[in-house]
Structure 1
Amino acid sequence: MAPLKRLAAWLSDLRLAIVLLLLIALASAVGTAIPQGDSPVSYIDAYSSTPWLGLLHGEQVLQLQLDHVYSSSWFLALLAWLGLALILCSWRRQWPALVAARRWIDYRTPRQLSKLAIAESLPCPNGNQGLAQLETVLRTNGWQVQRQPQRLAARRGVIGRAGPLLVHTGLVLLMLGAAWGALAGNRLERFLAPGRSLDLLDRDGTSQLTITLDRFAIDRDPAGRTEQFRSALHLQGGSQALNAEISVNHPLRHRGITIYQADWSLATISLQIGRSPVLELPLQAYPELGDQIWGLVLPTRPDGSEPVFLSLESEQGPATVFDADGQQIARLRPGGPAVDVKGLPMRVDAVLPASGLLLKRDPGVPLVYLGFAVLLVGGGLSLVATRQLWAIAADGTLSVGGLCNRNLAAFATELPQLLQQVRAPDVNTAPTTDQQG
C-alpha cells in the first residue's frame, strides 16, 4: 500500500500538473503552427527543402504524428495523464477539504482561540448577552451560527470550498470531450458550386443529410479585396428541411454536424468560341502560379494543337489568355465582347464561383461545453473566501478567533467591525447605570 500511496501522491502533485499543462499547451501550439489533416504527400513536399523550424522534415513530421496532433496517441496520453492527476488531487485533497469545511469544529478554551490567525478579546461582564448579541450580528451579515453554552461557532462562504473541486471536474469533462471528439469525430471539406448537392451517408449507406448550395456570394471592398463569403444552404434530412445562410465566423450546427464557411474557389467558366454554343468548362487551381490562380488549357485547333492557357484570379475576371510560349495574347472580361484569340473569336459569358464548406461532426462538443460551464462556475466559487469564527465567554471576557482561506487582511478588518456592534449596546447602557447610582 505504501508504494501505491507514494505513486498517488506523485501523480497528484501540483508541480506535475503544471508541467503537463505546459506540455499540452506546447503541443497545441505545434498543432496550430502545422496544418492538420492534410495528405502525407503535402507534408513531405512542404518540408522537403525547408524543414519545419529548421529541424523536422516531412517524414519526421509524419513519424511524430504532428500532422494530427490532437488525435495522436501521445497527445491523448497527456490528456489522460492530466485527467488522472486531477482526479487523484480531487480525491486526496479537494474532497477532504470540502468535507472538513462542512464539519463544525468546537473550540472550548480561550487559549485555543488565541493561537488562530486572527484573535481578539473584549470585556463582557454578561457572557450570554454578549454571545447573543454576536450571534444576532453574525446572522444579520449572512453567517451560519452554531450556538452552545458559553460559546459559539460561525462560518460563511463554505460553498467556496467546492470551487477547486468543480474546476477539476470541469477540466476533466473538457478533456474527455476533446478526446471523444478526436477519436469519434469526422471532418469533411468540399467545394460546392451553386445548384450542386452533397449527400452525407450513414454507416448503412443511406442518405443521412443532403446539403444543397442555393447561392454563393463574395463580398468585396472597393479595391476588390475579399471581405466575406456567404453561402445560402438548403438542408434536407428525411422529412425535415432547413434553409440557412452561413458565412465566415458564423457556422451552422444541425443534427450534430457543424457546417463552416471555410474557403472559396472558382468552379467553372462559361465560354463561347466562334459560333459554338456557350460551353461550361471546369476550372482547376494552379498553386504553383499563386495562392488564388485558376485556369484551364484550351486547344484552338480541331486537332488539339496551338493550345492557350486561360487564367483567372477572381469571379470578376478578367481571364488572361497566354500562348504556348507564356506570352499574354488577350484579356477577356466576363460578359464582355468577344476577342480574337489565335484567329478565333472568344467570349467569356460568366465565371461561376464555388463555396468551400467544412463539415465537422464532433460528438464531444456537448461535453466540452458542459466542462466549460462547470469550469466557469468553479472558478467563480473559488473566489469566495471561506471564513470561520469562534467565540467563547469566560471570566468576564469574550474571546473571539477566526480563520480565512484567502484575503486574510479583509477578514482582519471585518472582525473588529463586527465586534464593535457587540460593544455598542454596552456603551449605550452605561450612562443609565450611572444615573441610577
Structure 2
Amino acid sequence: MKGNPVAQFIRWAWGQLTSMRTALALLFLLALAAIPGSMIPQNSVSPISVIDFKNEHPTLDKVLEPLGMYHVYTSAGFSAVYLLLFASLIGCILPRVAKYFRALRQPPPKLPARIERLPESATGTVAGAVEPALDGAEAFLKAKRYRIRRTAEGISAERGYLREAGNLVFHTSLVVVLLGLAWSNLFGFHGTAVVVEGRGFSNVITQYDDFTSGTLVDTDELEQFSIDVNSFTAEFEMGEVQRGAARRFDAQVTVTDSAGERDALITVNKPVTTAGGSQVNLLGHGYAPSFTVRDGNGDVAFSGPVVFLPQDGNFASVGVIKVPDARPQRLAFEAFFYPTAVLDEQGPHSVFPDALNPEVYLNAWVGDPQEESGVPESVYSLNTTGLRQVEGDEGEPLRAALAVGGGMTLPDGLGSITFDGWQRWVKLQVSQTPGNLLTLISIAVGVAGLSVSLTVRPRRLFVRITDQMATVGGLDRTDAASGLEDEVAGLLAATTGDRPGPDGPGGNEESTRDAV
C-alpha cells in the first residue's frame, strides 16, 4: 500500500488540504470571490436590479453573463471554495484537538539538562534541606496556577494550556459559522411585497413581488400568517437645517398567525417576528395615487390606488395606470406624481418629500382591445406596442396636470380619468434565516476564543537543587511576553527562602540571561 502512487497522492493531497496555510488561503479566496457579488446585482437578491443593470451596461453584460457574475454565491466555483474551506478547517482542527487532549493528560516536560542556558535563569544557595525548599517552590508555582511535575532533584512547571484551547475554539467556531450559513441558505428564504395602506399581505408565494428560497424550502408549506397594513406614518424635517430629512417611519399593522391576532408596530430596524419565526422588516415606502378611469362607454373601467416608484429624495415618483378592460378601446396612462409640486423654469418637480401640494402630471395612450397572453408584465412600466398616444387639439401629445379631485376628459369620447387622492405604500421583506442564531453565537464564541488565545501566555519554569545550590530558569513560548524575569526571581526566592528586595531577589543569588 505504501508503494501505491495513488494512495501516496491522496495522502499528500489531504495533507496539503488540511494544512493551516491552505485554510488561510481558502479563506482569502472566499472573501475575494464574494467581492463581485457585493458589487454586481445578484439574481438571488433582486432579479429586477439585474435586468436594469443589463439594460444600462449592455457591453459589460456580454462579459459578466458568461462568467456567471449574476449568481456568484450559487456558482460552482464559490461553492467549491466554500466546501474546500469547510473540509480544510475540519481536517486542521480534529488532529489538533486530539493532540491537545493528549497534552492535557501528560505532565509538564522533564527538567532540562542545562537550566542556566534558558532565556532567563538565576541561581541561589539553599540553606536548609532540599524537600522544604522544593515545597516552597511548589507552593509558589501552584499559587501562579502552574501544573507541576516534581521529582527528587527538582520541579518542572507549565501553564498557558488555555491558549491552544482558545485557538481550537476559534477555529471550531469558524466551522460552525459555515454550518449556520449553509443552514440558512438551504432552509431559509426571503421575499418582498409592496402593500398599500389599508390592504394586507398573506404569506403565500403568489403574493410576493420577488422571492428567493433555499433548495430545501417547500414553498407550498410556508408559514401561514397575514399582515394588514392599517396605516403608515412618515415625518420629515421641516426646518431649514436638514430640511426634508427623514425623522419617522412607522407602520401600524395587524398580524394574524398561529398565535392569534395582534397589533404591532414596524419601524426601521425594528421588525416583527411571527409565531413561526418569520421576520417582517420595513424596507421602503412611497406614494400610491388613487384614480378612477371611465371608458368610452361611460363605465368605470378602473378605480383604486396605483403604486408609484420614487425617483429622488423629494419622492418625485413615476407610475403607470393600465386599463386593459376599457371599451371600446383600452386605455393606459403614464404619470408623474409630485408630493410638493412646483412648476418653474425647470419644469414640474417636487421640492419636499411630504405631500404638501400633491399633483399628478400624465399623458394618455389608447389602443384596440387585446387578448390576455398570460405573459407577465411589469406593473411599473408601459409596453406601448399596439398603443398610440392620445393627441390634443393641435396634434401634440395630450398632457394634463391634476390636483387632488381634478380630472381630464379624453377627446373623441375615449373616456376620462380623475385623480381621487393618494395613499402610502410600504415595502415589506419577509425572511426566515434559521441558522442566524447559530451563526451569531458561533461568532461570539469565536471572538471569546480568539481573545483567550491572544491574552494567555504559555510559560515554563524549572527549578533544580544540587549540592545546596538552586538553579531556576524559565522560558516563554510566545513572543512579546513580559514578566518572566520577575517570576524566575520570585521562584528562586520561594525556593531559597529569601524575600525579594525592591530591585529583585536577595543578594545570595546570581542572575544570568544567556540565550539558548
Q: Tell me the TM-score normalised to structure 1 length.
A: 0.80
Aligned-partner Cα distance in 2 for 1:163–1:249: 34
Are the counterparts in 1 of residues 308 and 337 from structure 2 also a CA contact under 8 Å?
Answer: no
Instruction: Map 1:178-189; keep pairs closer than 5 Å.
Output: 178-189=181-192
Shift of 1:358: 0.8
| Structure 2 counterpart of 1:435 | none
Are the counterparts in 2 of residues 272 and 349 from structure 1 also a CA contact under 8 Å?
Answer: no
| Structure 1 counterpart of 2:378 | none
Aligned-partner Cα distance in 2 for 1:170–1:381: 14
Match of 1:16, SS? helix
Aligned-partner Cα distance in 1 for 2:398–2:24: 61
Change in CA separation of 1:387 and 1:307 when aligned onto 2, cut-off 3 Å: closer
Deviating more after overlay: 301-310 vs 183-192? 301-310
Shift of 1:247: 2.0
| Structure 2 counterpart of 1:251 | 271
Shift of 1:108: 4.0
Aligned-partner Cα distance in 1 for 2:186–2:63: 23
Aligned counterpart in structure 2 of residue 217 of structure 1, from 229, 233, 252 = 233
Deviating more after overlay: 314-323 vs 302-311? 302-311
Are the counterparts in 1 of residues 289 and 423 from structure 2 also a CA contact under 8 Å?
Answer: yes
Aligned-partner Cα distance in 2 for 1:289–1:129: 84
Question: What is the one-letter code of the residue matched to 2:252?
Answer: A
| Structure 2 counterpart of 1:293 | 317
Instruction: Map 1:85-124; keep pairs closer than 5 Å.
Output: 85-93=88-96, 95-97=98-100, 99-100=102-103, 103-108=106-111, 110-111=113-114, 113-124=115-126
Change in CA separation of 1:233 and 1:405 when aligned onto 2, cut-off 3 Å: farther
Aligned-partner Cα distance in 1 for 2:100–2:72: 37
Are the counterparts in 1 of residues 232 and 251 from structure 2 also a CA contact under 8 Å?
Answer: yes
Question: What is the one-letter code of the residue matched to 2:160?
Answer: G
Change in CA separation of 1:215 and 1:62 when aligned onto 2, cut-off 3 Å: farther
The answer to which structure has the higher helix fraction is 1
Are the counterparts in 2 of residues 386 and 404 from structure 1 also a CA contact under 8 Å?
Answer: yes
Question: What is the one-letter code of the residue matched to 2:304?
Answer: L
- The answer to whether residue 7 in structure 2 is matched with residue 5 in structure 1 is no
Deviating more after overlay: 384-393 vs 139-148? 139-148
Q: Which runs of 5+ in 1 are unaligned?
A: 432-437
Deviating more after overlay: 416-425 vs 241-250? 416-425
1:2-26 CA distance string (max 9 Å, x none) = 4343223211233322222222112
Change in CA separation of 1:247 and 1:182 when aligned onto 2, cut-off 3 Å: same
Are the counterparts in 1 of residues 124 and 492 from structure 2 also a CA contact under 8 Å?
Answer: no
- The answer to whether residue 170 in structure 2 is matched with residue 150 in structure 1 is no
| Structure 2 counterpart of 1:264 | 285
Q: Aligned-residue CA RMSD in angstroms?
A: 3.9
Question: What is the one-letter code of the residue matched to 1:319?
Answer: E
1:185-229 CA distance string (max 9 Å, x none) = 211100112232222257656862222222222232223344453
- The answer to whether residue 420 in structure 2 is matched with residue 396 in structure 1 is no
1:358-380 CA distance string (max 9 Å, x none) = 11112222321232132122112
| Structure 1 counterpart of 2:83 | 80
Are the counterparts in 2 of residues 308 and 321 from structure 1 also a CA contact under 8 Å?
Answer: no
Instruction: Map 1:65-76; keep pairs closer than 5 Å.
Output: 65-76=68-79
| Structure 2 counterpart of 1:365 | 436
Change in CA separation of 1:78 and 1:256 when aligned onto 2, cut-off 3 Å: farther
Shift of 1:258: 1.9
Are the counterparts in 2 of residues 71 and 179 from structure 1 also a CA contact under 8 Å?
Answer: no
Shift of 1:397: 2.0
Aligned-partner Cα distance in 2 for 1:427–1:206: 74
Change in CA separation of 1:215 and 1:148 when aligned onto 2, cut-off 3 Å: farther
1:157-201 CA distance string (max 9 Å, x none) = 312210111111100011111122222221110011223222225
Question: What is the one-letter code of the residue matched to 2:264?
Answer: A
1:364-409 CA distance string (max 9 Å, x none) = 2232123213212211221212222222212222222334332454
Aligned-partner Cα distance in 2 for 1:427–1:241: 75
Match of 1:67, SS? coil
Instruction: Map 1:267-346; keep pairs closer than 5 Å.
Output: 267-269=288-290, 280-285=303-308, 293-297=317-321, 310-314=335-339, 316=355, 317-323=357-363, 325=396, 329-330=400-401, 332=403, 334=404, 338=405, 341=408
Question: What is the one-letter code of the residue matched to 1:123?
Answer: T
Question: What is the one-letter code of the residue matched to 1:71?
Answer: T
> How many corresponding residue pairs?
417
- The answer to whether residue 171 in structure 2 is matched with residue 168 in structure 1 is yes
Aligned-partner Cα distance in 2 for 1:76–1:270: 49
Aligned-partner Cα distance in 2 for 1:88–1:298: 60
Question: What is the one-letter code of the residue matched to 2:50?
Answer: Y
Instruction: Map 1:44-83; keep pairs closer than 5 Å.
Output: 44-48=51-55, 50=57, 56-57=60-61, 60-83=63-86
Aligned-partner Cα distance in 1 for 2:123–2:431: 66
Aligned-partner Cα distance in 2 for 1:45–1:134: 76
- The answer to whether residue 257 in structure 2 is matched with residue 237 in structure 1 is yes
Match of 2:142, SS? helix
Question: What is the one-letter code of the residue matched to 1:312?
Answer: F
Aligned-partner Cα distance in 2 for 1:49–1:354: 27
Match of 1:47, SS? helix
Are the counterparts in 1 of residues 493 and 499 from structure 2 also a CA contact under 8 Å?
Answer: no
Shift of 1:88: 1.3
Aligned counterpart in structure 2 of residue 33 of structure 1, from 12, 24, 39 = 39
Shift of 1:260: 1.5
Are the counterparts in 2 of residues 101 and 161 from structure 1 also a CA contact under 8 Å?
Answer: no
Deviating more after overlay: 172-181 vs 142-151? 142-151
Are the counterparts in 2 of residues 283 and 294 from structure 1 also a CA contact under 8 Å?
Answer: no
Match of 2:21, SS? helix
Shift of 1:138: 2.2
Aligned counterpart in structure 1 of residue 478 of structure 2, from 402, 406, 415 = 406
Change in CA separation of 1:292 and 1:165 when aligned onto 2, cut-off 3 Å: farther
Aligned-partner Cα distance in 2 for 1:110–1:326: 102
